[in-house]
Amino acid sequence: MERTVTIVPEAGLHARPASKFVQTAGEYDADVTIEKIGGDGSPKNAASMLSVTSLNAAHGDEVRLVAEGDDAEAALDALEEILSTPEASEDGESGDGTSEADGDEE
Amino acid sequence: MRRTETRSDPTVSERTLSGIGVTPLSGVGTVVWYRPDEALELDDPPRQSEVDAEAERERFEDARDAAREELEAERERARERVGDEEAAVFDAHLQFLDDPEIESAVDAELEEGLSAEHAVSEGFAGPIEQFEAMEGRMAERADDLRDIRDRLVRLLVGGERTDLSALPEGSVVFAERLTPSDTAQLDPEIVSGFVTATGGRTSHAAIFARSLALPAVVGVGDDLFAVEEGTDVVVDGDTGDVTLNPTEETRAAAADSDRAEVRSDPVATSDGKPIEVAANVGQPAELEGATEQGADGIGLYRTEFLFLERESPPDEEEQYETYVEALDAFPEGRVVVRTLDVGGDKPIPYLELPEEENPFLGDRGIRRSLGVDADLFETQLRALLRAAADGAGDLAVMIPMVATVEEFESARETLDSVAADLDSEAVDYEIPEFGLMIETPSAAFMADEFAARAEFLSIGTNDLTQYVMAASRGNERVSELHDPQHPAVLRAIARTVDGAEGTDAWVGMCGEMAGDPELTELLVGLSLDELSMSAVTIPDVKANVSETDRESAEKLAKRTLQASTKRDVERLLDGDAEN
């Protein structure tokens, strides 16, 4: 079972969205892989923070999710939901977020 | 990267290393080297026949459990000390710790017959290398992985970690790099600052330093390793200068600015002109810090926080309560609230914010408030006018990104129509002071026209610099150009102040520049009435205001405005500091 999803969160598959994605992938029995379309082509373990982060998938990129196992469909639904939900820019790791907190907005 | 040996004959003369300053603070203290990996040098791998693979596998599991406990405890500590956002770093660490890919890499090494510590070291090497080869934020993930690896190795070899939370007072921590768990242990009450050889403005260490208001310089490079333990040092988190063996004057200057007393009373120049010193605030939680640092009021209350990270805009009531809270925090003072300032660079799900090729020159600020976001603007003004009547302090409403007189006049018309509505509904309201931010070159050129129509002008130097110099704020390659000490920016500021002369409009400044204590005299000399800044620099600026004599400040400003280059400006400012 597979599905192609466009990444909506502004942060891409980093920071909080990545964290949520990996955690969710780990909650299902199904083995899920993720692959960036137009990337190096090899599917990566969706339950691995390392693999998911190293995809370096940005907002607007397309990814292919492949799931195998009893709850494959439920897993894909949950993961698609995360990738399709916009998230306000909130991560304190980006340069912009930082400078904003510093008061150099003007 | 290895450190060079410390020198046997330390130079006693003052010497300066330079890096990237990440906090607008300076600190004086003594160098304490933090070398967490020193205890983590592993022996050569033991011969494979000596290793019980099953036992090593168990040792690895135990270390991982212990690491998990430590991380959870540190996460709580970070949450209490600096907030949720920074604590999230530890969530990522916990996920890396349990990462199945890393686990299988370590497993493979264990099966090869390596001891647990060597297996961890080898198993992490690939992923660390992979991230190091990537750019920007991705490269900083390598720091996270190193942090986790070192934690595991330390737990496995039983190494004691240097206790960063138990350093002597006045320590300035020197390190190759500081990981998030390192910085979270630093107590700003005790530690005077830190300096790292690596790292950039957006590294975790830099972000933590800012949250903790710690003087810090990062990215000094390999020269740092030659500095001896115990050396006296002044860290200037503003300029990025790390001064070793500082002279008495250097120390005094830094210590002075550091120990400025918090004064909650308004200050005036030595010849008696009152200058309002206010705080820039980005969310309600910062109000307390502003009062603690002795702010007279809020010179820039950003309202974006109300609109971010949610599915629908805040209603009038929620906004009203938020604004009243801010006004109640400064019963004797003024709170300048800036209306919503968003554009294509800040995604807000429920707003139509199309990606723009150049969001900083696009549909943002007042342009949207008079256009696509007109309804939001009205709601915000309603909430503000009601809050003005009920909150303790005085409200001022500031319009962002104004480029034309018509924009300001339209905004004023909206304000009037909102007031008329409230009037007809018999709702309590008050008309606040109404003004604009001077951040476009257009607004600076037209300052006289604006001053004739507004109650105040507030110069946002960060964006004004960006637009005057055509140099992006966030781009390090042009950071030399993005500096308000360029004569063109100073002249734009002077033009703004001149434009308001003879009118009733007051002129303030709410960019980073206002909070630079070294520029206080110049800004007073340029005749600004109000300076608004990050709360941490308020005591310094207040102290400097009260020591400034207007006549000599005006002379300095006049000379500075005649300068033809940034270097000349800097020379004039330095020269004056020595007098």
pLDDT digits (tens, 9 = 90+) for B536-578: 889 889 999 999 999 999 999 999 999 999 999 999 998 744 4
pLDDT beyond 90 at B43: no
At B137-185, the pLDDT tens digits run 677 788 888 889 988 988 888 766 667 877 888 999 999 888 767 877 7
**Is A14 inside any structural domain?**
yes
Q: How confident is the model at residue B88 (pLDDT cuts 50, 70, 90)?
A: confident
What residues in B contact A53, CB-CB < 8 Å? 138, 141
Both tokens of B296, joined, read 């007279």
Instruction: Determine the residue type at A39.
Output: G
pLDDT beyond 70 at B483: yes
- The Cα–Cα gap between B112 and B427 comes to 78
Q: Mean pLDDT of all residues in chain B?
A: 87
B229 φ/ψ angles, rounded to the nearest 5 degrees: -55, 140
What mean pLDDT is predicted for residues B208-212?
Answer: 69
What's the pLDDT score for residue A91? 39
Q: Do B282 and A106 touch (CB under 8 A)?
A: no
Least confident range of B7-21, B256-270, B400-414: B7-21
What mean pLDDT is predicted for residues B468-477?
Answer: 81
| Closest in B202, B302, B309 to A90, CB measured | B309
The 10 Å Cβ neighbour count of residue B426 is 6
pLDDT beyond 90 at B42: no
What's the pLDDT score for residue B48? 60
Task: Supply the CATH number for residue A37's domain.
Answer: 3.30.1340.10
Least confident range of B121-130, B267-276, B396-405: B121-130
- Interface check for B150 against chain A (CB to CB < 8 A): the answer is no
- The Cα–Cα gap between B412 and B455 comes to 11
Range of the domain at A67: 2-87
**Is A101 inside any structural domain?**
no
- Interface check for A88 against chain B (CB to CB < 8 A): the answer is yes
Ordered strands of the A44-45 beta sheet: A2-6, A62-68, A31-36, A44-45
**Is A72 inside any structural domain?**
yes
Residues above pLDDT 90, as percent of chain B: 52
Least confident range of A13-27, B29-43, B225-239, B318-332: B29-43
**Is A103 inside any structural domain?**
no
Both tokens of B460, joined, read 């946002």
Domain count of chain A? 1
- Interface check for A96 against chain B (CB to CB < 8 A): the answer is yes
Report the length, in residues, of chain B.
Answer: 579
Q: Which of B195, B170, B209, B185 is nearest to B80 (CA)?
A: B185
pTM for the full predicted model? 0.57
Could you report the predicted ipTM of this complex, rounded to two decimals? Answer: 0.71
CA dihedral B429→B295→B450→A100, nearest 10 degrees, is -100
Q: Taking a C-beta distance cutoff of 8 angstroms, is the pair A63, A69 a contact? A: no
Domains of chain B: 15-36+162-258 (3.50.30.10), 40-157 (1.10.274.10), 269-578 (3.20.20.60)
- The Cα–Cα gap between B443 and B3 comes to 52
Q: What residues contact residue B544 under an 8 Å CB cut-off, 6+ apart?
A: B517, B520, B521
What's the pLDDT score for residue A34? 93
The residue ranges of DSSP E strands in B269-316, in sequence order, are 274-281, 298-301
At B446-460, the pLDDT tens digits run 999 999 999 999 999
Q: Do B280 and A103 touch (CB under 8 A)?
A: yes
At B270-326, the pLDDT tens digits run 999 999 999 998 888 788 888 988 999 999 999 998 998 778 899 999 999 999 999
| Closest in B101, B346, B461 to A106, CB measured | B461
Q: Do B92 and A49 touch (CB under 8 A)?
A: yes
Highest mean pLDDT out of B202-206, B259-263, B397-401? B397-401
- The Cα–Cα gap between B480 and B2 comes to 31
